[in-house]
Amino acid sequence: MSISSAASDAEEYETFFRRTADPLRGSAQKMTCYASHSYSDEEMEEESADGGMKQGRTHSRTHHKDARQSQRNAANARERARMRVLSKAFSRLKTSLPWVPADTKLSKLDTLRLASSYISHLRQLLQDDRLENSFAHPTWPFMMAVRSEDQEISATVRLCGATA
Protein backbone atom coordinates (compact mmCIF):
# COMPACT_ATOMS: atom_id res chain seq x y z
CA MET A 1 0.00 0.00 0.00
CA SER A 2 1.56 3.23 -1.10
CA ILE A 3 0.79 6.89 -1.07
CA SER A 4 -0.06 6.68 -4.75
CA SER A 5 -2.51 3.87 -4.23
CA ALA A 6 -4.14 5.84 -1.47
CA ALA A 7 -4.46 8.70 -3.91
CA SER A 8 -6.00 6.41 -6.47
CA ASP A 9 -8.50 5.29 -3.87
CA ALA A 10 -9.54 8.86 -3.42
CA GLU A 11 -9.83 9.25 -7.17
CA GLU A 12 -11.87 6.10 -7.33
CA TYR A 13 -14.19 7.50 -4.73
CA GLU A 14 -14.59 10.71 -6.74
CA THR A 15 -15.39 8.90 -9.97
CA PHE A 16 -17.67 6.46 -8.26
CA PHE A 17 -19.60 9.23 -6.62
CA ARG A 18 -19.94 11.11 -9.88
CA ARG A 19 -21.24 7.92 -11.43
CA THR A 20 -23.80 7.47 -8.68
CA ALA A 21 -25.06 11.02 -8.47
CA ASP A 22 -28.45 9.41 -8.77
CA PRO A 23 -28.75 8.09 -5.23
CA LEU A 24 -30.67 4.95 -6.03
CA ARG A 25 -28.48 3.87 -8.91
CA GLY A 26 -25.55 3.24 -6.66
CA SER A 27 -27.35 0.85 -4.39
CA ALA A 28 -25.96 -2.64 -4.72
CA GLN A 29 -27.52 -5.98 -4.02
CA LYS A 30 -28.02 -5.31 -0.34
CA MET A 31 -30.88 -2.82 -0.50
CA THR A 32 -32.95 -3.52 2.58
CA CYS A 33 -36.20 -2.26 3.99
CA TYR A 34 -34.58 0.88 5.38
CA ALA A 35 -35.02 2.96 2.29
CA SER A 36 -38.76 2.69 2.49
CA HIS A 37 -39.07 4.28 5.91
CA SER A 38 -36.44 6.88 6.51
CA TYR A 39 -38.72 8.91 8.75
CA SER A 40 -39.14 8.54 12.46
CA ASP A 41 -42.39 7.33 13.95
CA GLU A 42 -43.06 10.74 15.48
CA GLU A 43 -42.73 12.38 12.12
CA MET A 44 -45.11 9.86 10.62
CA GLU A 45 -47.60 10.48 13.39
CA GLU A 46 -47.30 14.21 13.00
CA GLU A 47 -47.82 13.79 9.32
CA SER A 48 -51.06 11.88 9.73
CA ALA A 49 -52.42 13.89 12.67
CA ASP A 50 -53.03 17.15 10.79
CA GLY A 51 -55.30 15.80 8.10
CA GLY A 52 -57.36 19.00 7.98
CA MET A 53 -54.45 21.13 6.94
CA LYS A 54 -54.74 23.34 3.93
CA GLN A 55 -53.61 21.80 0.69
CA GLY A 56 -50.77 24.29 0.17
CA ARG A 57 -49.16 23.54 3.47
CA THR A 58 -49.60 19.84 2.96
CA HIS A 59 -48.00 20.15 -0.42
CA SER A 60 -45.00 22.04 0.95
CA ARG A 61 -44.68 19.45 3.68
CA THR A 62 -44.57 16.58 1.24
CA HIS A 63 -42.14 18.56 -0.85
CA HIS A 64 -39.95 19.02 2.21
CA LYS A 65 -40.31 15.35 2.94
CA ASP A 66 -39.22 14.45 -0.58
CA ALA A 67 -36.27 16.81 -0.34
CA ARG A 68 -35.13 15.25 2.90
CA GLN A 69 -35.60 11.78 1.53
CA SER A 70 -33.54 12.47 -1.56
CA GLN A 71 -30.88 14.13 0.59
CA ARG A 72 -30.80 10.99 2.74
CA ASN A 73 -30.56 8.77 -0.32
CA ALA A 74 -27.65 10.84 -1.60
CA ALA A 75 -25.92 10.53 1.76
CA ASN A 76 -26.49 6.78 1.69
CA ALA A 77 -24.95 6.55 -1.76
CA ARG A 78 -21.93 8.53 -0.61
CA GLU A 79 -21.57 6.29 2.40
CA ARG A 80 -21.76 3.18 0.23
CA ALA A 81 -19.07 4.59 -2.04
CA ARG A 82 -16.92 5.47 0.92
CA MET A 83 -17.20 2.00 2.39
CA ARG A 84 -16.48 0.47 -1.00
CA VAL A 85 -13.24 2.44 -1.19
CA LEU A 86 -12.40 1.26 2.28
CA SER A 87 -13.00 -2.36 1.32
CA LYS A 88 -10.85 -1.98 -1.81
CA ALA A 89 -8.09 -0.52 0.31
CA PHE A 90 -8.32 -3.51 2.59
CA SER A 91 -8.10 -5.98 -0.28
CA ARG A 92 -5.15 -4.05 -1.72
CA LEU A 93 -3.48 -4.18 1.66
CA LYS A 94 -4.13 -7.90 1.75
CA THR A 95 -2.43 -8.44 -1.62
CA SER A 96 0.62 -6.57 -0.37
CA LEU A 97 1.13 -9.08 2.41
CA PRO A 98 3.82 -11.38 1.00
CA TRP A 99 2.98 -14.61 2.79
CA VAL A 100 -0.74 -14.53 2.08
CA PRO A 101 -1.85 -16.45 -1.04
CA ALA A 102 -4.20 -14.45 -3.26
CA ASP A 103 -7.13 -16.78 -2.69
CA THR A 104 -6.86 -16.72 1.08
CA LYS A 105 -9.99 -15.72 2.89
CA LEU A 106 -8.95 -12.97 5.27
CA SER A 107 -11.24 -10.78 7.32
CA LYS A 108 -10.57 -7.06 7.61
CA LEU A 109 -9.47 -7.52 11.17
CA ASP A 110 -7.10 -10.32 10.17
CA THR A 111 -5.71 -8.17 7.37
CA LEU A 112 -5.06 -5.35 9.80
CA ARG A 113 -3.37 -7.64 12.29
CA LEU A 114 -1.20 -9.32 9.68
CA ALA A 115 -0.22 -6.00 8.13
CA SER A 116 0.71 -4.70 11.54
CA SER A 117 2.89 -7.69 12.31
CA TYR A 118 4.44 -7.50 8.84
CA ILE A 119 5.40 -3.89 9.48
CA SER A 120 6.95 -4.91 12.78
CA HIS A 121 8.86 -7.61 11.01
CA LEU A 122 10.15 -5.24 8.32
CA ARG A 123 11.14 -2.75 10.98
CA GLN A 124 13.12 -5.48 12.67
CA LEU A 125 14.84 -6.35 9.41
CA LEU A 126 15.78 -2.73 8.88
CA GLN A 127 17.11 -2.49 12.36
CA ASP A 128 19.28 -5.57 11.90
CA ASP A 129 20.44 -4.23 8.58
CA ARG A 130 21.47 -0.95 10.17
CA LEU A 131 23.52 -2.77 12.78
CA GLU A 132 25.33 -4.71 10.07
CA ASN A 133 26.25 -1.62 8.06
CA SER A 134 28.18 0.98 10.00
CA PHE A 135 27.67 3.79 7.45
CA ALA A 136 24.96 6.31 8.14
CA HIS A 137 21.49 5.83 6.67
CA PRO A 138 18.99 8.61 6.34
CA THR A 139 15.95 7.90 8.45
CA TRP A 140 12.55 6.78 7.22
CA PRO A 141 10.87 7.52 4.79
CA PHE A 142 14.02 8.52 2.88
CA MET A 143 15.54 5.19 3.75
CA MET A 144 12.91 3.40 1.70
CA ALA A 145 13.81 5.41 -1.40
CA VAL A 146 17.52 4.61 -1.29
CA ARG A 147 17.16 0.92 -0.60
CA SER A 148 17.67 -1.13 -3.71
CA GLU A 149 14.81 -3.20 -5.02
CA ASP A 150 16.95 -6.32 -4.71
CA GLN A 151 17.27 -5.76 -1.02
CA GLU A 152 13.52 -5.42 -0.62
CA ILE A 153 12.84 -8.51 -2.66
CA SER A 154 15.37 -10.56 -0.77
CA ALA A 155 13.81 -9.41 2.47
CA THR A 156 10.41 -10.51 1.19
CA VAL A 157 11.75 -13.85 0.07
CA ARG A 158 13.37 -14.39 3.43
CA LEU A 159 10.08 -13.52 5.08
CA CYS A 160 8.11 -15.90 2.89
CA GLY A 161 10.57 -18.65 3.52
CA ALA A 162 10.39 -18.13 7.21
CA THR A 163 6.65 -18.12 7.53
CA ALA A 164 5.32 -20.32 4.74
Partner DNA sequence: TAGGCCATCTGGTCCT
Partner DNA sequence: AGGACCAGATGGCCTA
- Residue 33 CB, nearest distance to DNA (Å)? 6
Least Å distance, CB 162 to DNA, is 25
> CA-to-CA distance for 58 and 52, rounded, in angstroms?
9
Q: What is the DSSP letter of 98?
A: T
d(CA 141, CA 77): 36
Nearest approach, Cβ of residue 98 and DNA (Å): 20
Provide the Cα torsion 108, 111, 117, 121; round to 10°.
Answer: -160
Of the pair 1, 125, the CB lying nearest DNA is at 1
**Choice between 107 and 127, CB closer to DNA:** 107
Query: What does the DSSP assignment read for 1-34?
Result: --HHHHHHHHHHHHHHHHHT-STTTT--TT--GG
Q: Nearer to DNA by C-beta: 80 or 118?
A: 80
Residues forming the site for DNA (CB under 7 A): 17, 27-35, 37-40, 71-80, 82-84, 87, 107-110
Shortest distance (Å) from residue 43 CB to DNA = 8
